[in-house]
Amino acid sequence: MSLVNDLLRDLDARRAAPGEWPLRDALQPVNEEAAARRDKIEVLRRGSIWFGAVMLLAIMVGLMIGRVVNGDPVSPFAAQHQVPAAVPEPAPITPAPVTPPVVAVAAAPLPQLLDVLPQNDGQRLLLQLLLDSSVAYQRTEENGAVSLFLPGVQLRGEPHQGRVQGAGRSLSWRVEARGGGVQVLLVGLGDQLQVHDRLEAAGDRWLLWLEVPLQNAPAANVGAVEEFPAASTAVAAEPELPDWSTRPVPATNSEAPVPAAVPVRPQPITAAPTGPPQVQITSHQPDALSQARQALLEQNYPSAIAQLEALHRRPSSNSEVARLLAQAYLANGQPAQLLSWLPAQLQANPRDSELRMLLARAQLQTGAMPAAVATLQQNSPPLATEPGYHALLAASYQQTQQWPQSAALYQQLVNGRPSQATWQLGLAIALEQLERPGDAAKHYSLALEGQGLDASSRSFAAERATALKESL
């Protein structure tokens, strides 16, 4: 259009006469602004067409991707190739639900009470409960009785019970299975009954110690523990209380006349207090010894050692502090510290069998086997009252290869308690070293029938029993 305008302008410039340019009369000026608007509209129209086509293609591609993601492999263009209506479409196949396999979870084995070892030196009754793992227990005190309940613990073997008697008083104890656990019950000595309990590790086993001081009872009358086997004596439903604890208290006779020889002096009359009663509540702070026992129970050995060392430095320190400190040193793997001061404590208390056992264990841990034997041989208590002490001595004999002494001592122990498998195993090992294969095989078999062996010891006993029987 601009070319035509240029031609018209050129003709006007030259002022051509009419008829000089034949096309001049047919040419008309063109509106350039309108033509530019029309060109822009055409460009927009074509762009809209292309934009719509691109959007339609994007929507179709999106639908195809959505069907693939949802698991439908059919293309959106499959509608152009549909099956005729006369042919029925096959029913969709619904996959059967997959049931996950049920995995049987093995139940965790319940902790077991392997054995109960009572000891009494005339000053205290000590019960050692041997457990195969650490357990929680509940303690209850009521009416002169102390009960400890170990929930979820199984008692291997028969119940245990015993009694300490003397001077018109008695202390009865019993360990039995009850209510899905094990109950330890101690009854007697009236308001003087005090029971100290603690749980500590002993190798791969655990020991629950129950200590009852007997200082108020004459030592000559309570120097032994009478234990009744459950096979011969039935366990009663409730403990037998001593007669002094159930004797009724005499009632006060308010109408009894006052003797004439005793003048009755009138008492001053005081006004009754008015207002609400005054109640004082004070916080209870446990003493240092109780805190040390709790630290031992929680296996916080550094804290227990720090508290017990401070108590031990006091002039009024007693043998119980020394015993607890020695136990803390052993549990924390510090036998050298124990050996540095415990011999002096043992010289001051030569008949303290527990201190002597702790010293021997420290000597065994440091490799001083002959010294441990010598320690245990001095002032040894009666075997009937403290069999655990003599079991440690018999094991120490084996460490020094004193096989005759070990066999003789183990034989005395199994005569009193044949169900103790560890003693049967110790006797079998000593008899095998003494070249008595027949007797050794017998006691290996008895050890497998008893209580208290772990898996490795049981496997060893089974192998030796089979090998010795085959060699006979």
pLDDT digits (tens, 9 = 90+) for 442-457: 999 999 998 778 888 9
Q: What is the mean pLDDT of residues 256-277?
A: 43
Query: Which strand (E) or helix (H) includes residue 169?
Result: strand 169-178
Q: Given this model, what pLDDT does residue 376 score?
A: 95
Query: Which strand (E) or helix (H) includes residue 4?
Result: helix 2-14
Residue 213's DSSP bridge partners are 124
Angle ∠(357,412,427) on CA atoms, nearest 5: 85
- pLDDT bracket for residue 427 (50, 70, 90): very high
Q: Given this model, what pLDDT does residue 235 score?
A: 35
Residues making up the chain, counted from first to last: 472
- Which residue has 């005793």 as its token pair? 262
Q: What is the mean pLDDT of residues 43-61?
A: 84
Cβ(357)–Cβ(389) under 8 Å? yes
- pLDDT bracket for residue 85 (50, 70, 90): very low
Q: What is the mean pLDDT of residues 280-307?
A: 75
Q: Given this model, what pLDDT does residue 76 score?
A: 44
Which pairs from 365-374 meet CB under 8 Å and 24+ separation?
A: 365/330, 365/335, 366/335, 366/336, 366/339, 369/396, 369/399, 369/400, 370/400, 372/396, 372/399, 373/397, 373/399, 373/400, 373/402
Encoded tokens for 348: 């001051």
Q: What is the mean pLDDT of residues 73-97?
A: 49
One-letter amino acid at 197 equals D
Encoded tokens for 44: 């927009």
Question: 281 pLDDT exceeds 80?
Answer: no
Q: What is the mean pLDDT of residues 194-208?
A: 80
CA neighbor of 454 nearest in space, from 175, 200, 114: 114
Number of other CB atoms surrounding residue 124 within 10 Å: 18
Cβ(319)–Cβ(295) under 8 Å? no
Q: What is the pLDDT of residues 329-340, one digit of tens each?
A: 988 889 998 899
**Best mean pLDDT range from 76-90, 187-201, 287-301:** 287-301
How are beta strands 124-131 and 169-178 bridged, if at all?
unpaired
Cβ(359)–Cβ(327) under 8 Å? no
Q: Given this model, what pLDDT does residue 240 score?
A: 42
Q: What is the pLDDT of residues 205-232, one digit of tens each?
A: 888 888 888 765 443 333 344 444 433 3
Q: What is the mean pLDDT of residues 329-354?
A: 88
- CA–CA dist 294, 143 (Å, integer): 25
Q: What is the mean pLDDT of residues 307-312?
A: 88
**Can you list the domains of the chain with their CATH numbers?**
2-69 (no CATH), 112-236 (2.60.40), 291-382 (1.25.40.10), 401-472 (1.25.40.10)
Q: What is the pLDDT of residues 252-264, one digit of tens each?
A: 333 333 333 334 4
Q: What is the mean pLDDT of residues 133-142?
A: 81
3-state SS of 72-121? CCCCHHHHHHCCCCCCCCCCCCCCCCCCCCCCCCCCCCCCEEEEEEEEEC
Angle ∠(11,15,19) on CA atoms, nearest 5: 75
Q: What is the pTM of this model?
A: 0.50
One-letter amino acid at 338 equals L
- pLDDT bracket for residue 283 (50, 70, 90): very low
Q: Given this model, what pLDDT does residue 31 score?
A: 62
- pLDDT bracket for residue 202 (50, 70, 90): confident
Cβ neighbourhood burial of 432 (10 Å; 0-12, 13-18, 19+): buried
Cβ(400)–Cβ(369) under 8 Å? yes
Q: Which residue has the higher pLDDT, 1 or 388?
A: 388
Number of other CB atoms surrounding residue 281 within 10 Å: 4
How are beta strands 154-155 and 112-120 bridged, if at all?
parallel
DSSP 143: T
**Best mean pLDDT range from 170-179, 194-203, 353-362, 448-457:** 353-362
* 116 phi/psi in degrees, rounded to 5: -125, 125
Q: What is the pLDDT of residues 358-398, one digit of tens each?
A: 999 999 999 999 999 999 999 899 988 889 899 999 999 99
C-alpha of 262 from chain center:
67
Encoded tokens for 218: 């004459």
- CA–CA dist 156, 133 (Å, integer): 14
Maximum Cα–Cα distance across the chain: 179
Q: Given this model, what pLDDT does residue 72 score?
A: 52
Q: Given this model, what pLDDT does residue 119 score?
A: 81
- pLDDT bracket for residue 437 (50, 70, 90): very high
Angle ∠(234,238,240) on CA atoms, nearest 5: 80
Between the alpha carbon of residue 182 and those of residues 78, 150, 158, 176, the distances in Å are 76, 5, 12, 6
- CA–CA dist 440, 7 (Å, integer): 137
Residue 451's DSSP bridge partners are 420
Weakest mean pLDDT among 5-9, 331-335, 429-433: 5-9
**Best mean pLDDT range from 16-30, 239-253, 284-298:** 284-298
Weakest mean pLDDT among 117-126, 188-197, 341-350, 455-464: 188-197
Q: What is the mean pLDDT of residues 32-47?
A: 78
Output the average pLDDT for the chain: 74
Q: Given this model, what pLDDT does residue 468 score?
A: 93
